[in-house]
Amino acid sequence: MLITELKSKDVIESLISGKSFIINCHGCMEVRFPEKEADALEKDLVQAGKVTGIVTTDYICNPDNLKLQLKNHAEEIDAADSILVFSCGVGVQTAADLYPDKPVYAACDTIRLPGYQGVTPLETDCGQCGTCYLNLTGGICPITACSKSLVNGQCGGAKNGMCEVDPEMECGWERIYRRLKALGRLDAMRCPTQLHNFATDEATRECKES
Amino acid sequence: MKITELFKQGEFVVSAEVGPPKGFHIEEMVESAKKYLSKVDAINVTDCQSSVMRIGSLAVCKTLKDAGLNPIFQLACRDRNRIALESDLLSAALFGIDNVLALTGDHTKLGDHPDAKPVFDLDSVSLLHTMCLLEQGKDLGGNDLVGEPPKFAKGAVVSPCSDSVDAQLMKMERKVAAGAEYFQTQAVFEPEKFIKFMEQAKQFGKPVMLGIIIPKSVGMCKFMNNNVAGISVPDSMLDELRADKEKTKAGVTGVEIAARIIRECRPYCQGVHIMSLGWEDKIPELLEKAEIR
Ligand code: SF4
Ligand code: SF4
């Protein structure tokens, strides 16, 4: 089971300037999704006129499936300045890969529950770190795409764009830099210094019991 | 003595580097530092460089300081979590070691203990941030320090000839925002690239020390070209090293090349950092040829 927790309302509201298209993933049974809280928040956003459309579906971590689900929403997505995704980190990354020209934001944090690794398809991975960084990194996960799981930009080790640890792997932070640059969002890298919170890596008792 | 004071006085600052051995007998290293590095302003002590286990940087810094030299404590985030990093910074303050260079560190897999756990609890940026907090009398847990807070000259590194120099500049900006007061660079073999980099980097208003490695041989340069990030030795330099094998072996060609790079880059930077990789004895001659000392 993967556990997602909603980011705070302030954080989510601060992400979307203008209008947003919303994707909800009620995907795998194994994922605990804060459905009620998400619903309430989305209603508020709709009322404030900030939403161009909502799609609620499953398994958005599968890119082909996601494409299919979004087929009839092209106009709504076009009209939106950003895409807000309520899912685990893998779903957000899949959406971000699909829309490299539009900011794709994570509305949830994904938390680890020992024993379960998630239904992780393809090469996209979420380390369930508990403090989702995707909104600062153009939708590429620094925890899994960087060999050192760095959260403040790249180390000096990449050579010809490849990671110092694994020459077969592209440096995750160079990918993040390119993605943010293409989106015109390099300012995201001027955020305050990030400290990885290892206390949120573990699911809280409250989460486990529910 | 804080290296930042020298920048303030407008000096062209020179630092060199020593690599502690795998073992605790450092007498020879200290003697060689006293003999050849007496004219440099500060000496970096590497912190298990390239993820190879050696005697600790802090202990060697203290020994150099007791010998009348001015050490820069290199502190990498690979081997310690935030508690140990903060604690070592306080230990440094106790010893009067006030120059610290914040590094993320190479991955453990690249070194001689590839099975070790890579820590990276913090990184170079959050380590600089941590130093600033300690200077304000607080730790990362939000607790107060006892007594007068420590003060450090906070250094960081940047790679001017990297193949992704824009991303490097962005990282440099983050380090400045997090508290970096001066920079040492990865070794430069392409002055044009360095000069171009400095055109951009000067906007941050922080002193930059040109990184220099004395090229020892063609083999060494080829190795660096293939394996070391941010270094590419141009073919023309390889030819220079090939031209006279005896001269190269004696280190004369390498010193000539390094001195030339320093002379070319000097107008654009505030100091030079020499990574001699065992050729400490060539440093006095290099400084003379580069017309610095
Ligand atoms: S930053 Fe990565 S590991 Fe953390 S929640 Fe987001 S996708 Fe998962
Ligand atoms: S080279 Fe890139 S991916 Fe590899 S550890 Fe450094 S920043 Fe991370």
A2 strand-pairing partners:
A31
Residue A133, ligand 1, Cβ within 6 A: yes
- Chain B residues closer than 8 Å to A157 by CB: 106-107, 229
Q: Does residue B14 surpass a pLDDT of 80? A: yes
Q: Are B189 and B233 in contact (CB under 8 A)?
A: yes
Render pLDDT for B209-233 as a digit per residue (tens, 0 to 9): 999 999 999 999 999 999 999 999 9
Q: Give the distance from residue B31's alpha carbon to the nearest chain A alpha carbon, in angstroms.
A: 32
Q: Mutate which of B85, B123, B157, B203 to test chain A, going by most A C-beta atoms within 10 A?
A: B123
A8 CA to centre of ligand 1 in angstroms:
16
Phi, psi of A80 (to 5 degrees): -90, 150
Nearest CA to ligand 1 atom 8: A126
A149 CA to centre of ligand 1 in angstroms:
10
Q: Does residue B129 surpass a pLDDT of 60? A: yes
Flag whether A158 is in a domain: no
A155 CA to centre of ligand 2 in angstroms:
6
Which residue among A108, A110, A119, A194 is best mutated to probe the pocket of ligand 1, counting the most ligand atoms within 8 A of its Cβ? A110
Size of interface A-B (CB pairs under 8 A): 89
Q: Are A101 and A57 in contact (CB under 8 A)?
A: no
Which tokens in the block code for residue B246?
């005896």
Flag whether A183 is in a domain: no
Render pLDDT for B16-72 as a digit per residue (tens, 0 to 9): 999 999 999 999 999 999 999 999 999 999 999 999 999 999 999 999 999 999 999
Q: Are B88 and A163 in contact (CB under 8 A)?
A: no
- pLDDT for A26 equals 87
Flag whether A39 is in a domain: yes
Q: How far apart are CA A21 and CA A36, in angstroms?
A: 19
Q: Mutate which of B49, B107, B121, B139 to test chain A, going by most A C-beta atoms within 10 A?
A: B107
Q: Give the distance from residue A3's alpha carbon to the nearest chain B alpha carbon, in angstroms.
A: 23
- Chain B residues closer than 8 Å to A180 by CB: none
Residues lower than pLDDT 50 in chain A: 1, 210
Which residue among A123, A141, A197, A198 is best mutated to probe the pocket of ligand 1, counting the most ligand atoms within 8 A of its Cβ? A141
Confidence (pTM):
0.92
Q: Round the CA-based radius of gyration of chain A to a whole number and report it.
A: 16
Q: How far apart are CA B142 and CA B162, in angstroms?
A: 37
Nearest CA to ligand 1 atom 3: A127
Q: How would you list the strands of the sheet with A51-57, edge to edge? A: A51-57, A20-25, A82-86, A104-106
Flag whether A171 is in a domain: no
Q: What is the mean pLDDT of residues B77-90?
A: 98
pLDDT band at B293 (very low <50, low <70, confident <90, very high): confident
- Quickly tell me which residue has 């055109």 as its tokens: B199
Residue A87, ligand 1, Cβ within 6 A: no
Flag whether A178 is in a domain: no
Flag whether A63 is in a domain: yes
- Judged by CB atoms closer than 8 Å, whether chains meet at B171 and A148 is answered as no
Domains of chain B: 3-206 (3.20.20.220)
Q: Give the distance from residue B194's alpha carbon to the nearest chain A alpha carbon, in angstroms.
A: 16
For B108, nearest residue in chain A (alpha carbons): A165
* Dihedral sign (CA B102, B106, B111, B114): positive
- pLDDT for A32 equals 77
Which residue among A143, A144, A173, A189 is best mutated to probe the pocket of ligand 2, counting the most ligand atoms within 8 A of its Cβ? A173
What is the domain extent for residue A58?
2-136+195-205
What domain count does chain A have?
A: 1
- Quickly tell me which residue has 């935030």 as its tokens: B82
- pLDDT for A202 equals 58
Q: What is the ipTM of this complex?
A: 0.94
- pLDDT for A115 equals 55
- pLDDT for B193 equals 97
Mean of the per-residue pLDDT values of chain B: 97
- pLDDT for B175 equals 98
Flag whether A107 is in a domain: yes
B273 CA to centre of ligand 1 in angstroms:
38
- Chain B residues closer than 8 Å to A174 by CB: 164, 167
- Judged by CB atoms closer than 8 Å, whether chains meet at A174 and B167 is answered as yes
Flag whether A29 is in a domain: yes
Q: Mutate which of A131, A144, A159 to test chain B, going by most B C-beta atoms within 10 A?
A: A159
Phi, psi of B150 (to 5 degrees): -75, 160
- pLDDT for A116 equals 52
Query: Residue A47 belongs to a domain with what CATH number?
Result: 3.40.50
User: Quick one: which ligand is closest to B229's CA?
Assistant: 2
Q: How far apart are CA B176 and CA B180, in angstroms?
A: 5
